[in-house]
């Protein structure tokens, strides 16, 4: 598989994962199972494509990728939070945006 293929998988799965988390804040309770299934698959695809990119691009496992891995863990753990924490939707949406912002900054700045 080419790096471009992994890139496309990586970004599309990120959009699906983040979109699914946000959907959870408004979706009716009977959609929970399907949303958890979709975000679960997206989360795995994002990790596999990220590791694939590290390998294909010969990066080894730099510190910025470790930051991204922690962000991926946090984001994946938040899948479904919308169904459990409706009352604090604003706070958790902010947390999701902050996690994505840290991960995207890590890959663009590579400050460490
Ligand atoms: C919340 C988690 C994550 C977000 C928001 C995220 C976001 C992104 C974005 C936007 C890019 C495109 C950068 C570009 O091509 O200019 C990217 C590339 C990449 N990501 Fe992630 N990612 C996440 C998790 C991960 C994980 C867990 C890994 C590895 C274990 C990873 C490894 C990579 C690699 C190696 C690239 C390619 C960098 C390059 O083209 O030089 N990412 N990521």
Count of CB atoms situated within 10 Å of the CB of 39: 24
pTM recorded for the entire structure: 0.90
| Residue nearest ligand 1's atom 2 by CA | 72
105 Cα to the center of ligand 1, angstroms: 10
Tokens of 96: 């999701």
Per cent of the chain over pLDDT 90 is 83
| Residue nearest ligand 1's atom 10 by CA | 104
Indicate whether residue 71 lines ligand 1 (CB < 6 A). Answer: yes
Q: What is the pLDDT of residues 30-56, one digit of tens each?
A: 999 999 999 999 999 999 999 999 999
Please measure the distance between the N-terminal and C-terminal CA atoms of the chain and give it in whole angstroms. 28
> What does the domain layout of the chain look like in residue ranges?
3-109
CA angle 9, 39, 80 (to 5 degrees): 155
């Amino acid at each position: 598989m080419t790096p471009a293929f992994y890139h496309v998988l990586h970004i599309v799965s990120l959009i699906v994962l983040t979109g699914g988390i946000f959907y959870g804040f408004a979706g009716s309770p009977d959609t929970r199972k399907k949303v958890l299934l979709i975000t679960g698959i997206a989360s795995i695809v994002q990790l596999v494509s990220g590791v694939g990119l590290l390998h294909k691009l010969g990066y080894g496992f730099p510190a910025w990728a470790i930051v991204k891995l922690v962000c991926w863990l946090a984001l994946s753990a938040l899948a479904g939070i919308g169904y459990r924490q409706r009352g604090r939707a604003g706070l958790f949406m902010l947390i999701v945006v902050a996690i994505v912002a840290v991960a995207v900054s890590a890959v663009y700045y590579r400050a460490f």
